[in-house]
């Protein structure tokens, strides 16, 4: 009696990587565009993780996706609609969404704010900047131009009415800052237009979130999910500082649209996004109260918006 030949079979473990590969192909190239949009936005709006988009998609497709976030028109704050109803109150609260958590500080007197610029190329921790100016708290502001020397600012900054760092290229610049009447002026300006905004202090970053009480048009996946920082002002002149943690199990992060929703719900009629990612940080009562995404390796900053 002949022995039956054993049929060759694949080891079961091989189905695990095969299944994972099929899942990746389905997510990245399947019928559901929302995953691709979220993935590309999240990767491309980070300073260190752009390769995660480029390893799956062409530059042409990435540019097409990011172009959806481009503003449809130039906007700027109409300062005539802002009134001054200031007092000494400061409020602090935790904010929560379905996939993020963060904090918001409301400062009723905008004159308490200071724009603290680093005086060394390495930059400072947010706690150091607040301590140096005997401040009560604050948030990070501008982005950095050099990852090895984070005290070097990316973009334009104005301190005490004077431009202290230059313009980043030609064309329009997305700016935010306070004029001599302590009104938050946000908008897209040419170099010549920046000069006539009467800025007391200002920074270049973005995108714009709210202008003159109107939400800027943002896609659902704008900016992807990441740690975020933003500033806004209400019609009464009260200032809103917001930070959202990200890249953590307890808080994945927020999109620009999420930031806009938070600020609008808290009464902001003008608001702008600040540098986010691992730089997103908030100090309150002299202590760091959020959880930066780099963990214990808190990031050095080129400047910060602080308050006394």
* pLDDT band of 236, cuts 50, 70, 90: very high
234 φ/ψ angles, rounded to the nearest 5 degrees: -85, 170
Mean pLDDT of 275-288: 95
Token pair in block for residue 261: 């929703």
Q: Does the pLDDT value for residue 67 go beyond 90?
A: no
Structure tokens at 92: 């602090």
Asked, for residue 73, whether it belongs to a domain, the answer is: no
Checking if the pLDDT of 20 tops 70, the result is: no
Tell me: pLDDT of 89 over 60.
Answer: yes
The region of weakest confidence among 48-62, 219-233, 236-250 is: 48-62
Say what percent of the chain tops pLDDT 90: 64
What mean pLDDT comes out for the span 2-23?
Answer: 57
pLDDT higher at 205 or 9: 205
* Whether 181 and 302 share a structural domain: yes
Can you tell me the distance from the alpha carbon of 189 to that of 158, in angstroms, rounded to the nearest whole number?
Answer: 14
pLDDT above 70: residue 9? no
Highest mean pLDDT among 23-32, 162-171, 246-255: 246-255
Residues 251 and 121 in one domain: yes
pLDDT above 80 for 32: no
Total domains in the fold of the chain: 2
> Domain check: are 122 and 170 in the same one?
yes
Which of 46, 67, 88 corresponds to the end of one domain? Answer: 67
53 shares its domain with 119: no
**At 30, is the pLDDT very low, low, confident or very high (cuts 50, 70, 90)?**
confident
Residues 191 and 254 both lie in one domain: yes
Count CA atoms within 13 Å of residue 119 on its CB side.
5
Closest CA to 104 of 90, 114, 115, 84: 90
- Asked if residue 61 and residue 206 are part of one domain, the reply reads no
Mean pLDDT score, 169-194: 92
Same domain? For 194 and 222 the reply is: yes
Q: Residue 18's pLDDT is what?
A: 58
Q: Does residue 2 lie within any of the structural domains?
A: no
CB 205 within 8 A of CB 21: no
Whether residue 90 sits in one domain with residue 60: no
Average pLDDT value over all residues in the chain: 89
> Which residues form the domain of 25?
13-67
Comparing 32 with 306, which gets the higher pLDDT? 306
Query: 193 and 96 share a domain?
Result: yes
Question: 145 or 282: which carries more pLDDT confidence?
Answer: 282
């Amino acid at each position: 009696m002949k022995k039956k030949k054993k049929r060759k079979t694949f080891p079961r473990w091989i189905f695990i990587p095969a299944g994972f590969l099929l899942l990746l192909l389905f997510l990245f190239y399947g019928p559901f565009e929302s995953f691709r949009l979220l993935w590309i936005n999240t990767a491309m709006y980070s300073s260190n993780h752009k390769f995660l988009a480029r390893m799956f998609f062409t530059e042409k497709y990435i540019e097409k996706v990011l172009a959806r976030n481009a503003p449809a028109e130039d906007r700027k704050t109409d300062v005539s609609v802002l009134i001054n109803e200031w007092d000494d109150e400061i409020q602090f609260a935790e904010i929560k969404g379905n996939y993020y958590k963060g904090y918001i500080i409301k400062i009723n007197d905008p004159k308490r704010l200071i724009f603290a610029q680093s005086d060394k190329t390495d930059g400072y921790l947010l706690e150091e900047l607040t301590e140096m100016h005997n401040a009560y708290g604050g948030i990070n502001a501008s982005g950095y131009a050099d990852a090895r020397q984070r005290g070097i600012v990316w973009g334009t900054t104005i301190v005490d009415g004077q431009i202290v760092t230059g313009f980043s290229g030609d064309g329009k610049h997305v700016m935010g800052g306070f004029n001599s009447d302590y009104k938050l002026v946000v908008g897209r300006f040419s170099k010549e237009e920046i000069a006539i905004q009467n800025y007391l202090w200002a920074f270049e970053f973005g995108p714009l979130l709210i202008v003159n009480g109107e939400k800027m048009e943002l896609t659902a996946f704008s900016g992807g999910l990441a740690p975020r920082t933003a500033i806004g002002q209400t019609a009464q002149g009260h200032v809103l500082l917001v930070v959202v943690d990200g890249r953590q199990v307890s808080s994945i992060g927020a999109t620009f649209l999420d930031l806009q929703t938070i600020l609008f719900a808290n009464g902001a009629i003008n608001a702008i996004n600040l540098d986010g990612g691992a730089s997103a940080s908030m100090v309150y009562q002299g202590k760091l109260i959020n959880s930066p995404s780099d963990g214990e390796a808190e990031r050095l900053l080129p400047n910060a918006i602080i308050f006394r």
